[in-house]
Amino acid sequence: MAVKKEQLYEGKAKKVFATDDPSLYIVSYKDDATAFNGLKKGTIAGKGVINNKMSNHLMKLLETKGVPTHFVEELSDRDTLVKRVSIVPLEVIIRNVSAGSFAKHYGVEEGIIFDEPTIEFSYKNDALGDPLLNAYHAIALKLATREEIEEIKRLAFTVNRELCAFFRETGIRLVDFKLEFGRLDDGTIVLADEISPDTCRLWDLQTNEKLDKDRFRRDLGGVEDAYREVMRRLGL
């Protein structure tokens, strides 16, 4: 079994550790929650365990659907062995329904179901506040090549198709979500980071009740219960 060695990085919700194999890292999920680029801080009890298990479950599912991911092995409640990647510094956001910054930017209500999903990119850069950019900007900034962006778009829409179908079976609408991708040493683009109620908007199909981090961002209460409810529906 992989051994956790020195800590390489601590992010807002996860830590990353080296292992005895230079091609493998261990990610460790925390209960810390932030919003609005770290301005709002809190704790969601048990979140790290839920996000670890849920993300691993979804990555395993996606692997069977032809989406390569960084996932290797779940080591414990909070720790997962992943392939070492160099993260493409883009946040890739897919939306099926208007919500959040989309509703705000374009002055529309939340809950409008789109005829087709949208995709957008932001530059993963906390100091700049993760500004939105398009593919041309990303190429100009040398964040990714045109070919990598095409591959990322293809994989992101595949993830959307598969996850929408999967969540629908559990009575959940996948409203929108954020993905991050990484490069393996040979240049292969793989899905990285996490897929969890921190990074997805998940609404009850019948009632539109929010079952995700918006409960924390918007002080709606019942945050822990919402995360647990998603796990229950996923049978995890």
Applying CB under 6 A, the residues found at the interface with ligand TMP are: 93, 99-102, 176-178, 199-201
Residue placing its CB nearer to ligand TMP in the complex, 82 or 92: 92
Find the shortest distance in angstroms from Cβ 6 to ligand TMP.
27
Q: Which residues of 181-204 are buried (b: 16+ CB within 10 A; e: fewer)?
A: bbbbeeeebbbbbbbbbbbbbbbb
Q: Which is nearer to ligand TMP, 4 or 209 (CB)?
A: 209
> How many other CB atoms are found less than 10 A from the CB of residue 221?
10
The answer to whether the Cα torsion of 132, 127, 182, 161 is positive or negative is negative
| Cβ 176 to ligand TMP shortest distance, Å | 4
> How near is the Cβ of 95 to ligand TMP at its closest, in Å?
7
Q: Is the Cβ of residue 144 or residue 202 nearer to ligand TMP in the bound state?
A: 202
The DSSP call for residue 83 is: E
Which is it for the CA torsion 16, 68, 233, 119, positive or negative? Answer: positive
Give the residue with the Cβ less far from ligand TMP, 3 or 205.
205
Selection from 211, 105, 118 nearest residue 157 by Cα: 118
Coil, strand or helix at 59: helix
Tell me the CA end-to-end span of the chain in Å, nearest whole number: 24
Which lies closer to ligand TMP via its Cβ, residue 15 or residue 210? 210
**Nearest distance in Å: CB 23, ligand TMP:** 27
- Could you give the CA distance from residue 189 to residue 65 in angstroms, rounded to a whole number? 15
Q: Which is nearer to ligand TMP, 101 or 145 (CB)?
A: 101
Minimum separation from the CB atom of position 167 to ligand TMP (A): 13
The C-alpha atoms of residue 79 and residue 120 are separated, in whole angstroms, by: 30
| 199, 23 contact by CB (below 8 A) | no
Min CB(2)–ligand TMP separation in Å? 27
